[in-house]
Amino acid sequence: MSKENTNYPNYYVLREGYELQDLLDDIFNKNNFSGSMAANHAQIGQYWVRCGVKDSSLDGIIDDNTKIITFATENIKKCKRIKEKQLEEELRRKGIPIYPDEYVDDSLHDED
């Protein structure tokens, strides 16, 4: 990115001619992230790059790392939901019935 078309503070410049946005573009293009996962990864990158630079106090570092964990946790939850849907689709294709957890855990349907 050229200096003319960016409003990033200096801590987003990773090296001359290569900024955080360039890194994120490289990551997203390689991994095909989209939607909320892409947004969360962008936030993770932003807080990771600026951690200890924008606010070098322990509170600032704790705050940035907490935000990294929060966005990473959201992506983990999303991945688990996607994985669950993929498993359900696979079971449906194989003709295996899917029962909701409430049914399986229902004491009326226990075997003993």
pLDDT digits (tens, 9 = 90+) for 69-96: 999 999 999 999 999 999 999 988 998 8
Taking a C-beta distance cutoff of 8 angstroms, is the pair 9, 18 a contact?
A: no
The alpha carbon of residue 67 and the mean position of all alpha carbons in its chain are separated, in whole angstroms, by 11
For residue 108, being part of any structural domain is answered with no
For residue 63, being part of any structural domain is answered with yes
For residue 51, being part of any structural domain is answered with yes
For residue 78, being part of any structural domain is answered with yes
Residue 75 structure tokens: 């992506």
For residue 99, being part of any structural domain is answered with no
pTM of the model: 0.67
Which segments of the chain have a pLDDT < 50? 1-2
**Residue 36: which domain range?**
3-83
Domain count, the chain: 1
Output the pLDDT for position 1.
Answer: 45
Taking a C-beta distance cutoff of 8 angstroms, is the pair 36, 78 a contact?
A: yes
Output the pLDDT for position 47.
Answer: 93
Taking a C-beta distance cutoff of 8 angstroms, is the pair 28, 41 a contact?
A: yes
Output the pLDDT for position 69.
Answer: 97
Helix 35-50 and helix 58-93: axis angle, to 10°?
160
For residue 32, being part of any structural domain is answered with yes
For residue 38, being part of any structural domain is answered with yes
